[in-house]
Chain A
């Protein structure tokens, strides 16, 4: 297996990299939506993320990535095998599973194990992509072209954290909690608001027009293609430092405080922008906390909140027919209003 392109070697695209790292620190953030042109490194970044993430501990041989520390959520297989005793564990890479365009529902949710049925005449469940993505990431490229029934399936599972499969002769349920990472070109199709809302963070990526940056991309890519393992080794130290930061941030995440004043700023921002529901504020809080944790600080500041506000809110704005500006501009305007103290309590 050739080493994947190292995450730290990706040129530019800081907002996208930050969002992915924060999503890794706090899966409850709800994943990242990456919108942008073709050929901007979106898939490369997500695949590189897989190599960057720390390993997770799972039950040995489990096809559903069961967490040995949470026996209440174990799948039926694990429950049957362990019978109350501590199961054998093994460390595996955090799963980052591709959901290809045109994937069938069978492939995604799981279905009858055709081989066993044909060969041994046994009825068994073949876990799908959702099972493999449990406790990890599910990457959907061209998310805006995804078929409606698959979108429905993803929405349902993302909301409940459980995949329920009810079909001919099969009735299975298993835990399926994952962060959804989607990428796409907004010009090629609109995303349903329900799916849009499901993503915690949304970032826009654009192809850099700076020639020096474009050349650096080519140089690094060519160096990687000439010698993937050597290139990966050269960036190994930086990747390791980032991995260490993520691990430390995850460990201290629950102890990071978000002071009331910061929460108030978040609420003011959301009210000013007309963000529906409370998910905007929850995301602001979680992302601010993740940012502070990545920095090694025990308390999130207003600065943290305002820094992550665009990626947390740009996809949640109610459409304003009177406002010509794009969503990013609106968020930035609201942020500067709040910073200057113009916006008061609503």
Chain B
């Protein structure tokens, strides 16, 4: 079976990450017009999500009371005592809430969903399908900031989506007992790169850490590798995968933000364990100690280059 094209591979990785840990990530901000690629991706996600979990689709024209729940007036009048109606947000608890045409969702309703993400025990995964055109039209910022992953699906060819179906491994990570180890310096590299990608929100480094850990967990690794980190950066910041011959982009950029305080000692002795982990642009297969400085420069350069 041929390898899936890089962008579709990333999209599949996003689906696996969401199925494994969506409730702790808030959800995903999908940017794509309605079409077969988006549908294919949604189907993949649905197949990966555990069977019993709720899966609710909420149109942007939903009434406020349907979201929050409240008194069921008709039933109350009939029964002669208060009959409450669970809102859609409550019914989606522990599962997935799909928002088609999410860019049309009114700010007040988006704030309600954002509030549910802040507070819901048992977790809620929001899949916001943003069909917005250009920067003026898009998902409400309050909600977008609370969705860890950013997935642009436009530009993926239809035939790319026919890649091999995933092994049903989403359950593995969900059952993983301990989160994978994330080296501080790797986190620093990710955080710097996120800033370079124009993402100043304080939530972004959190999303990066969690996504990287989930990716490592899905691979069965005990610690996050630079590869997991790079994938996490792409999934959270919505970056396209960098082609292997991207050595030109590895020029040390202006890392003024990094500052001397967090520069790790140049000899980083403890490489991650046995699993074969190379940063994207390295061509050789020898697993050596991880050079965090170079990795950080590379991630920052890639992020800054991909910035619109």
Chain B residues contacting A145 (CB-CB under 8 Å) are: 107
Measured CB to CB, the residues of B under 8 A from A are 24, 64, 71, 73, 76-77, 80-82, 106-109, 111-112, 115, 118, 121, 141-142, 145, 184, 187-188, 191-192, 195, 200-206, 209, 257-259, 261-262
> Residue B111 contacts which of A39, A141, A185 (CB distance < 8 angstroms)?
A141
Query: By the criterion CB–CB under 8 Å, are A102 and B106 in contact?
Result: yes
Prevailing SS type, chain B contact patch: helix
Query: By the criterion CB–CB under 8 Å, are A211 and B202 in contact?
Result: no
Tell me the total A-B contact number using a CB cutoff of 8 A. Answer: 99
What residue in chain B is nearest A43 (Cβ atoms)?
B118
> Residue B201 contacts which of A38, A102, A119 (CB distance < 8 angstroms)?
A38
B123 to A: closest C-beta gap in Å: 12
**A-B CB contact pairs (8 Å), 28 listed:** A37-B200, A38-B141, A40-B201, A102-B106, A102-B109, A102-B111, A114-B73, A115-B76, A118-B76, A118-B77, A141-B142, A142-B111, A142-B142, A145-B107, A185-B141, A188-B141, A207-B200, A209-B257, A211-B188, A211-B195, A212-B259, A215-B187, A215-B205, A217-B205, A217-B206, A218-B191, A218-B205, A225-B24
Q: Is A303 among interface residues, defined by CB-CB distance under 8 A? A: no
What residue in chain A is nearest B261 (Cβ atoms)?
A212
Q: Assuming A211-B259, A218-B209, is B202 touching A119 (CB within 8 A)? A: no
What residue in chain A is nearest B70 (Cβ atoms)?
A114
Q: Assuming A37-B201, A43-B118, is B112 touching A100 (CB within 8 A)? A: yes
Chain B residues contacting A185 (CB-CB under 8 Å) are: 141
Chain A residues contacting B262 (CB-CB under 8 Å) are: 211-212, 215
Q: Is A323 among interface residues, defined by CB-CB distance under 8 A? A: no
Chain A residues contacting B259 (CB-CB under 8 Å) are: 210-212
- Separation of A188 and B108 alpha carbons in the complex (Å): 14
Q: Is A105 among interface residues, defined by CB-CB distance under 8 A? A: no
> Residue B82 contacts which of A37, A118, A142, A214 (CB distance < 8 angstroms)?
A118
Q: Which of A142, A217, A218 has the most CB of B within 10 A?
A: A218
Query: By the criterion CB–CB under 8 Å, are A214 and B107 in contact?
Result: no
Query: By the criterion CB–CB under 8 Å, are A114 and B71 in contact?
Result: yes
A333 to B: closest C-beta gap in Å: 27
> Residue A39 contacts which of B115, B145, B187 (CB distance < 8 angstroms)?
B145
Chain B residues contacting A153 (CB-CB under 8 Å) are: none
Q: Is A3 among interface residues, defined by CB-CB distance under 8 A? A: no
What residue in chain B is nearest A38 (Cβ atoms)?
B145
- Separation of A102 and B142 alpha carbons in the complex (Å): 13
Q: Is A101 among interface residues, defined by CB-CB distance under 8 A? A: yes
Task: Supply 4 further A-B pairs (C-beta < 8 A) apart from A100-B112, A119-B80.
Answer: A38-B145, A100-B111, A214-B191, A214-B195
Q: Is A248 among interface residues, defined by CB-CB distance under 8 A? A: no
- Separation of A138 and B82 alpha carbons in the complex (Å): 29
Closest 8 CB pairs of A and B: A102-B108, A39-B201, A101-B111, A207-B200, A39-B203, A218-B205, A115-B82, A38-B145
- Separation of A263 and B188 alpha carbons in the complex (Å): 48
Query: By the criterion CB–CB under 8 Å, are A102 and B206 in contact?
Result: no
Query: By the criterion CB–CB under 8 Å, are B191 and A211 in contact?
Result: yes
